[in-house]
Amino acid sequence: MNIFVNEENKQFHLTNGKISYIFNVLKNGSLGHLYFGKSIKNRDDFSHFLRTDIPTAASCHFFQDDPAYSLETVNHEYPVYGKGDFRDAAIELETKDGRIGNGYVFKDYKISHGKPKFNGLPATYANEKEASTITVQLVDESTHTNLYLSYTIFQHYPVITRSVALENVGTDDVYIKKIMSSSIDFPDSDYKMIHLAGTWSRERHIEAHDLRPGVQSIASIRGASSHHHNPFIALKRKTATEHENEVYGFNFVYSSNFLAQVEVDHYEVARVMVGIHPHQFRWKLAANECFQAPEVVMVYSEKGLNGMSQSFHDLYRNHLISEPWKTVERPILINNWEATYFDFDEEKLVRIAESARELGIELFVLDDGWFGKRNDDTSSLGDWYADEEKLPKGLPSLAKKVNDLGMQFGLWFEPEMINPNSQLYQSHSEWVVGRREEHLTFGRNQLVLDFSREEVVQYLFEKMRDIIIKTQLSYIKWDMNRNITDAFSVALKIDQQGEFFHRYILGVYALYEKLTTEFPNVLFESCAGGGGRFDPGMFYYAPQAWASDNTDAVERLKIQYGTSLVYPIYSIGSHVSASPNHQTLRATSLEMRANTAYFGTFGYELNPLELNEEERSIIKDQIRLYTTHRSLIRDGDFYRLLSPFEQNETAWMIVSKDKKEALVGYYKVLTTPNSKKQQILSLKGLDDDVLYTIEETKQSFCGDELMYRGLPLSIEFNGVNSNKAERGGDYQSVVYFLKGK
């Protein structure tokens, strides 16, 4: 890993043998982008990477009348508007005297080992041996602001992280209207843009389309990263596949409003920008203040989408989630939500816990409905004390009973929310987001608490802290069930209302920070009406997230497959629920449901008291299987084999880093009797020379056979006309464990 600097021609080359990232100081003093891609050897001069064949066009504007130099045709690192580049700029300021800036000019740079910590914002981290960081200082004398562009290169990964800070060195206030965290100009646009789109119950479905001239973007202005667009885009070469050729991935370490856009210009340059959405954003930067924008993770892959995913997974497992959760195995949990909804009391819960414990489940999670007087979703959010009717002996009594069974105890909270029908609202209605005298918009009968206010965050911290201590809590499911409307804080001055969304999420991060610092061993699972805030910002604090309220095994194939594009398998909360499924009413076997849920952080979301003996015995086996392979699922390399977005079948596998073990999941949604083709599944990531035995069938195959010829699937998947078939009908699946010798 190295950062080469050529002082003479001011070129900077970050490389680690896997990737190179090169930029330079341009003639006008701003930074030019020269290269991002597969590693190339360092040399004295890369200025030939700069585009010089300026097309003759009446519309070109030349810097200092030099016909060989136009800001419209060079590739930029951090473009500004107003000097001859007419594409979208990365930054936009508003100053007292109406100046928009003269452009940022290189001043200095600093290289440090490791990665400086961000204050109050989640970000990847690394020690001195694991990464190096260069921060380039640029100045704009017209607006009296300094811009700091930071780039970190990680030693072991084809990854660069970027972030931006802006400092006001003048005497007047400056307003930031836009500050993107990264911008890169790719020299051509021969890519497909990949992203993850959806909505509640249908999160993170893969979308792909060719880049076309003009701006194409995904965004959220909901106050959460959202169910609708994950803060991720990739540019995939049109020739790239799941496993081959070039892909660039961008993921924003942020949980609120974002914009990820690609602008293809008239010379087919593709400008990729990621940052806080400028919509409604206006940050007042007083003299001597500095604004830190969140981080963007940029991955280069020469091994297709799957290669990109593996880099994200490795980076997040090792450099994003907090220390204890890198190695601790997450407990298999039971969550009472779909078992009881709001209808429970202590006795019922204890019976569920007892029954779950007998099955081998390790953590009992009490979901919504335990606080205030909450029998439906119309009341009590904000009243974080036990519902006396349901839990007359209080939470500590229940927690103790659960602990006495040898189980951990976990609780659901929705700290950011308030119901008008609550005691908290009676005492602190001024804490809600919005102007109360106006007609506020409701979502799930609730309003949002103003987390931009420190006293609100502190209040929630004290309430949650108290419960954590009194119940010796092991786990918290932190939910967030509506987006933000009426964005306005009574605590902010009028000229600072544009800061609301960012200050709100800083408040959320602050509460996470306080809780995880004081209770590093409490496991947090983030949730936002299912997967509405499934982003790396959250993973910094909560190493797993509830992927979707849709627990249907068939629907989950797409949701989990899409999610795996960016996020490690062990971060994807996935549970076995009842059949017929509560969201789709589809009936699937217990086997199908578990075979899907194994590829995540595993749990159950059903009433174990309603299971018959046969089902209980199957579940015991499932728990044994997951427990046995938990560390493989946590640490292994994930390979997507067959996409549910392209066919009736889905397949994926996890291979241990030493290639000695693998877990393969194969799923066939609809049966296809007497199929034309032989049912063979080509595996990936194995060792050519290792002999693998399939635990379930006792067959042995060499790694090369399994990868190049394929694993023969059993006749069961060839339809109902086989009298040998043990499985028949739709929604069939199998999970194989491969052990190498």
Distance of CA 737 to the CA centre of its chain: 28
Q: Report how far residue 512's alpha carbon sits from residue 573's, in angstroms, rounded to the nearest whole number.
A: 19
Largest alpha-carbon pair distance within the chain? 84
Reduced to 3 states (helix: H, G, I; strand: E, B; else coil), residue 712 is strand
The number of beta carbons lying within 10 Å of the beta carbon of residue 295 is 28
43 close to 91: Cβ distance less than 8 angstroms: no
Is residue 88 near ligand GLA by the rule CB under 6 A? Answer: no
For the chain, first and last CA: distance in Å? 35
Min dist CB 530 to ligand GLA, Å, is 5
Options 88, 185, 383, 479, the catalytic residue: 479
Min dist CB 575 to ligand GLA, Å, is 9
CA atoms within 13 A on the CB side of 149: 29
Please name which of 540, 558, 559 lies closest in space to residue 548, comparing C-alpha atoms: 559
Q: Report how far residue 3's alpha carbon sits from residue 150's, in angstroms, rounded to the nearest whole number.
A: 13
The site string for ligand GLA over 362-391 (x = CB under 6 A, - otherwise) reads -----xx-----------------------
Q: What are the angstrom distances between the C-alpha of 658 and each of 492, 611, 654?
A: 54, 39, 12
Is residue 549 near ligand GLA by the rule CB under 6 A? Answer: yes
Min dist CB 550 to ligand GLA, Å, is 10
Name which of 527 and 735 has its Cβ closer to ligand GLA: 527
| 527 annotated as a binding-site residue | yes
The site string for ligand GLA over 325-354 (x = CB under 6 A, - otherwise) reads ------------x-----------------
Is residue 552 near ligand GLA by the rule CB under 6 A? Answer: no
Torsion of CA 154, 156, 159, 165, to 10 degrees: -10
Q: What are the angstrom distances between the C-alpha of 5 and each of 39, 112, 150?
A: 16, 13, 15
Q: Which of these segments, 105-113, 205-213, 319-327, 527-535, binds ligand GLA (CB under 6 A)?
A: 527-535
Query: Strand 544-546 relative to strand 572-577: parallel, antiparallel, unpaired?
Result: parallel
How many residues belong to the site for ligand GLA (CB under 6 A)?
A: 11
Min dist CB 624 to ligand GLA, Å, is 26
| 480 annotated as a binding-site residue | yes
Q: Per DSSP, which regions of 302-407 are E strands? A: 333-335, 363-366
- The CB-nearest residue to ligand GLA is 368
Q: Is 450 a catalytic residue?
A: no
108 close to 119: Cβ distance less than 8 angstroms: no
Q: Which residues 630-669 are close enough to bind ligand GLA by CB under 6 A?
A: none
Is residue 413 near ligand GLA by the rule CB under 6 A? Answer: no
Name which of 408 and 643 has its Cβ closer to ligand GLA: 408
Name which of 481 and 516 has its Cβ closer to ligand GLA: 481
Min dist CB 414 to ligand GLA, Å, is 7
| 60 annotated as a binding-site residue | no
**H or E element at residue 161:** strand 159-168
Min dist CB 373 to ligand GLA, Å, is 15
User: Please, what is the Cα angle at 560 between 556 and 564, to 5 degrees?
Assistant: 170
Is residue 412 near ligand GLA by the rule CB under 6 A? Answer: yes
113 close to 154: Cβ distance less than 8 angstroms: no
Min dist CB 206 to ligand GLA, Å, is 22
Looking at residue 395, its amino acid is L
Q: Report how far residue 393's alpha carbon sits from residue 249's, in angstroms, rounded to the nearest whole number.
A: 51
Min dist CB 369 to ligand GLA, Å, is 7
Q: Report how far residue 649's alpha carbon sits from residue 179's, in angstroms, rounded to the nearest whole number.
A: 43
Name which of 77 and 535 has its Cβ closer to ligand GLA: 535
Q: Is 495 a catalytic residue?
A: no
| 479 annotated as a binding-site residue | yes
Name which of 179 and 366 has its Cβ closer to ligand GLA: 366
| 337 annotated as a binding-site residue | no
Name which of 481 and 650 has its Cβ closer to ligand GLA: 481
Q: Which of these segments, 107-115, 460-468, 525-533, 627-635, binds ligand GLA (CB under 6 A)?
A: 525-533
Buried b / exposed e along 236-273 (16+ C-beta atoms within 10 A): bbeebebbbbbbbbbbbbbbbbbbbbbbbbeeebbbbb
Q: What is the CA radius of gyration of the chain?
A: 27
**H or E element at residue 358:** helix 346-359
Min dist CB 352 to ligand GLA, Å, is 16
| 384 annotated as a binding-site residue | no
Q: Report how far residue 276's alpha carbon sits from residue 506's, in angstroms, rounded to the nearest whole number.
A: 13
Options 549, 552, 635, 637, the catalytic residue: 549
Name which of 412 and 666 has its Cβ closer to ligand GLA: 412
485 close to 417: Cβ distance less than 8 angstroms: no
294 close to 276: Cβ distance less than 8 angstroms: yes
Is residue 527 near ligand GLA by the rule CB under 6 A? Answer: yes
Reply yes or no: is the peptide bond before residue 122 cis, omega within 30 of 0.
no
Name which of 312 and 412 has its Cβ closer to ligand GLA: 412
Name which of 99 and 582 has its Cβ closer to ligand GLA: 582
- Mind giving me the DSSP string for 571-629? GEEEEEE-SS-TTT-----HHHHHHHHTSSEEEEES-GGG--HHHHHHHHHHHHHHHHH
Q: Which residues 443-502 are close enough to bind ligand GLA by CB under 6 A?
A: 479, 481
DSSP state at residue 156:
S
Distance of CA 620 to the CA centre of its chain: 32
Name which of 142 and 584 has its Cβ closer to ligand GLA: 584
Find tokens 């109360």 and name the residue. Answer: 436
Is residue 546 near ligand GLA by the rule CB under 6 A? Answer: yes
Q: Report how far residue 121's alpha carbon sits from residue 368's, in angstroms, rounded to the nearest whole number.
A: 28
Given candidates 101, 415, 530, 703, which one binds ligand GLA under the rule CB under 6 A?
A: 530
| 1 annotated as a binding-site residue | no
Tokens of 647: 């066919």
Min dist CB 562 to ligand GLA, Å, is 18
What are the residues binding ligand GLA (CB under 6 A)? 337, 367-368, 412, 479, 481, 527, 529-530, 546, 549
- Binding site membership for substrate: which residues? 200, 367-368, 444, 477-481, 527, 549
- Binding site membership: which residues? 200, 367-368, 444, 477-481, 527, 549
Q: Give the active site residues.
A: 479, 549
